[in-house]
């Protein structure tokens, strides 16, 4: 039905400050796929490391039709 919220975690060095710009790609994708139903609340944070040394991890809360 709609995208409620995204949490984007960016694997970054301490002086990196562009976390929101990195997560814009995920936000833009959801809006591109779902249109207005893809608009959502969002948080973007930096992490000192992520599992498997991945670059970005995105968590999404979606409302679905049952």
Give, for 43, the enclosing helix (H) or strand (E). strand 41-47
Predicted confidence at residue 9, as pLDDT, reads 98
**Which 8-state DSSP code applies to residue 66?**
-
Q: Residues 18-61: pLDDT tens digits?
A: 999 999 999 999 999 999 999 999 999 999 999 999 999 999 99
Region label for 37, one of left (φ > 0), alpha (ψ between -120 and 50) or beta (otherwise): alpha
Q: Alpha-carbon distance 29 to 45, whole Å?
A: 19
Rounded to 5 degrees, φ, ψ at 36 are: -60, -30
Residue 66 pLDDT greater than 90, yes or no: no
pTM, 2 dp = 0.88
User: What is the per-residue pLDDT across 36-45, written as a single tens digit (0 to 9) for each?
Assistant: 999 999 999 9
């Amino acid at each position: 039905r709609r995208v409620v919220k995204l949490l984007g975690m960016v694997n970054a060095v301490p002086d990196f400050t562009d976390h929101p710009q990195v997560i814009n790609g995920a936000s833009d994708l959801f809006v591109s796929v779902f249109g207005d139903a893809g608009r959502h609340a969002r948080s973007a944070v930096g992490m000192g490391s992520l599992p498997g040394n991945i670059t970005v991890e995105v968590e999404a809360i979606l409302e679905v039709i049952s």
